[in-house]
Amino acid sequence: MRVLVIDPDPARAALVAEGLAGVHPLEVRRSARFDEREAAEFAPDVVVIAAESPDRDTLESLREASQANPRPVVMFVDRSEPGLAEQAVRAGVAAYVVDGLAPARVRPILDVAMSRFALTQQLRGDLAKVKADLEARKTVERAKGLLMKERGLDEDGAYRLLRKLAMDRGKPIGAVAADLLAFAGVLKGDAS
Amino acid sequence: MSGLADLKLGFIPLTDCAPLVVAKSLGFFAEEGLDVSLSREASWATIRDKVAVGALDGAHMLAPMALAAAAGASGGLTLDVGPSLIAPMALNRNGSAITVSKALAQAMRAADPEAIGEQPASAAALAKVIAQRSGQGAAPLTFAVVFPYSMHNYELRYWLAQAGIDPDKDVRLVVTPPPRMVEQMRAGEIDGFCVGAPWNAVAEREGLGEIVIAASAFWPGGPDKVFGVTQAWAHHYPDELRAALRALIRAAAWADDAAHREDLIALLARPEHVGVAPEALARALSDEIVFHRGGAGVPRREHALWFLSQMVRWGQVSAEVDLEAAADAVYRPDMFRAAALSAGPMLDPNQVFADAPGELAPLYAGPAFDSQRAGPYAAAFSIGRARV
């Protein structure tokens, strides 16, 4: 079975290939972008594409041009399996299969792709959250420093003041700290 | 946490996503009690599928995309028996244009200096270039549109066919997402395209292409994008939908106001919205796109029927389909009207939907469109593939 994975992220495509290791025969190729000529040359049985890829529209339109393209592609997800398309879209994967391949043979590929895509998405989300938390903590530290300097508070007092501001405004403490620093900058005249 | 209803709405980086961006950024959604997050999406197929499965509550959508499934076209590969889409509001009129590469524009000028100077420009000069090229055995010219079910596809096909060019035989048509049009033209992969603002102006500013005909010259006040949600979502969340529509109507009115032009351009230019140079956005906003005036927000049945007629004309939909039923299932001017009327003093209803929005302006050439006879109209063109 020949599988073409369209994903700019090599790690994610590699996960798909790894997850399919048991399938024989198998050839998995990854491409950052969908290229019609390249795809025609490789002649994949299935195309797995990240749902966020702009190339989805191009791929989908090939069904339209069936006169020009002798091998129309269609999304394989079978109507008889309710919920599968929904799961796939939520997991960030869309799959297309070259006309004529039985959906049953493609199911394991989509299962693998879905779980791997969901996993990397979660990892990426976690990383973004950690980064944001760290950034917020740095901002709070800087705002505390500013309050200690300008208002003569100790560290605990500065934190309590920030927390009160946050509660009064119904905003996260990081956002209040960021506002405070921005306004301090304006007062010092260093805003553009 | 905030007590507001959470909504996730999708958009594609295009000038006509403005009502969503404005409603979010200026707090119009928040004033309606909605906590909206906007999600910038990479492809129209993703927008459609995410809305259909509920990963997005609603989105900026191609009007024909919303209609395709109802008309039995394969508007959703997986979802053709799934949730149906409705369009309770139109987001804009005009905004798209056809652009050709510098080289092609030169060839057109050389082939027929008079035709390219006509206003609005016909494709007659292009037809001559195509004839010359085929005589020389050159490869067919490649044109890109944004999606098979789009105003852009029908506009380009109409314009070509009107000059005797068969879009399925004489040129190669490909699909490319809007933000990629310019890079593909630069790479020489495409010779022309039809896309929404600001991408035509971006190509011109970068010295790569020339705009040959704008949507307003093709069809004054012609339709383009809609706000789309699923029928099921609209049924379960009628209050949220009405609130969202009110915020969007106010945002459209704000976006139309010339006094806000600079602010609107700055807002859209941000990387998380359209992310292009402000000058490229300015062009279509100054005299082309309409968001609100003259009842622009009303999803007009006639517009839906014109889109459906083009689906029949190009063989995407069988001529047997009940076009009127499909139009009525998807286009919901009644919902727009109810939302506008419920907006109270924030909006002057007379101004909002200028109800009975007059006769349709004629398309730039070809048979007169009669929405009562969309089927026969679809079959009236000499170039087309209506499946009977």
Q: Give residue B353's pLDDT band: very low, low, confident or very high (50, 70, 90).
A: low
Domains and CATH numbers, chain A: 2-101 (3.40.50.2300), 129-188 (1.10.10.10)
**SS3 of residue B110 by DSSP:** helix
The closest of B280, B104, B317, B147 to B201, measured between CA atoms, is B280
Q: For residue B81, list chain A residues with Cβ-Cβ distance below 8 A.
A: 79
CA distance A115 to chain B (A): 17
Residue A103: enclosing H or E segment and its boundaries? helix A103-151
Say yes or no for a CB contact (<8 Å) between B43 and A64.
no
* B80, B82, B175 ranked by CB distance to A57: nearest: B175
The answer on pLDDT for B186 being more than 90 is yes
CA distance A105 to chain B (A): 17
As given in the structure block, the two tokens for residue B117 are 């100077």
Could you tell me where the beta strands, DSSP code E, fall in chain B? 5-11, 34-40, 58-62, 85-90, 96-101, 142-145, 172-175, 192-196, 209-214, 225-230
CA distance A150 to chain B (A): 32
* A64, A79, A90 ranked by CB distance to B53: nearest: A90
Q: For residue B46, list chain A residues with Cβ-Cβ distance below 8 A.
A: 51-52, 56, 94
Say yes or no for a CB contact (<8 Å) between B46 and A52.
yes
Between B346 and B327, the more confident residue is B327
Q: For residue B43, list chain A residues with Cβ-Cβ distance below 8 A.
A: 52-57
* B42, B175, B316 ranked by CB distance to A53: nearest: B42
Between B388 and B81, the more confident residue is B388
Length of chain B: 388
What is the ipTM score, two decimals? 0.82
A67 touching chain B per CB within 8 A: yes
Low-confidence ranges of chain A (pLDDT < 50): 66-74, 76-79, 191-192
Taking all residues of chain B, what is their mean pLDDT, rounded to a whole number? 90
- pTM (predicted TM-score): 0.84
Say yes or no for a CB contact (<8 Å) between A58 and B175.
yes
A81 touching chain B per CB within 8 A: no
pLDDT of residue A101: 59
| Torsion angle (degrees, nearest 10) of CA B14, B17, B22, B25 | -70
**SS3 of residue A76 by DSSP:** coil
pLDDT of residue B81: 43
pLDDT of residue A71: 43
The mean pLDDT of B39-43, rounded to a whole number, is: 93
**Alpha helices for B71-139 (secondary structure H):** 102-111, 113-117, 124-135
Name the closest residue on chain B to residue A67, using Cα atoms: B168
Between B41 and B81, the more confident residue is B41
Between B355 and B59, the more confident residue is B59
Between A49 and B164, the more confident residue is B164
A94 touching chain B per CB within 8 A: yes
The answer on pLDDT for B73 being more than 50 is yes
pLDDT of residue B75: 42
The closest of B142, B111, B113, B114 to B127, measured between CA atoms, is B111
Length of chain A: 192
Domains and CATH numbers, chain B: 5-93+222-379 (3.40.190.10), 96-218 (3.40.190.10)
For chain B, percent helix, then strand, then coil, each to nearest 5?
50, 15, 35
Q: For residue B78, list chain A residues with Cβ-Cβ distance below 8 A.
A: 75, 77, 79, 84-85, 88-89
Q: Give residue B150's pLDDT band: very low, low, confident or very high (50, 70, 90).
A: very high
Contact B26, A59 (CB under 8 A): no
pLDDT of residue B303: 96
The mean pLDDT of B115-137, rounded to a whole number, is: 91
Say yes or no for a CB contact (<8 Å) between B78 and A63.
no
Say yes or no for a CB contact (<8 Å) between A60 and B77.
yes
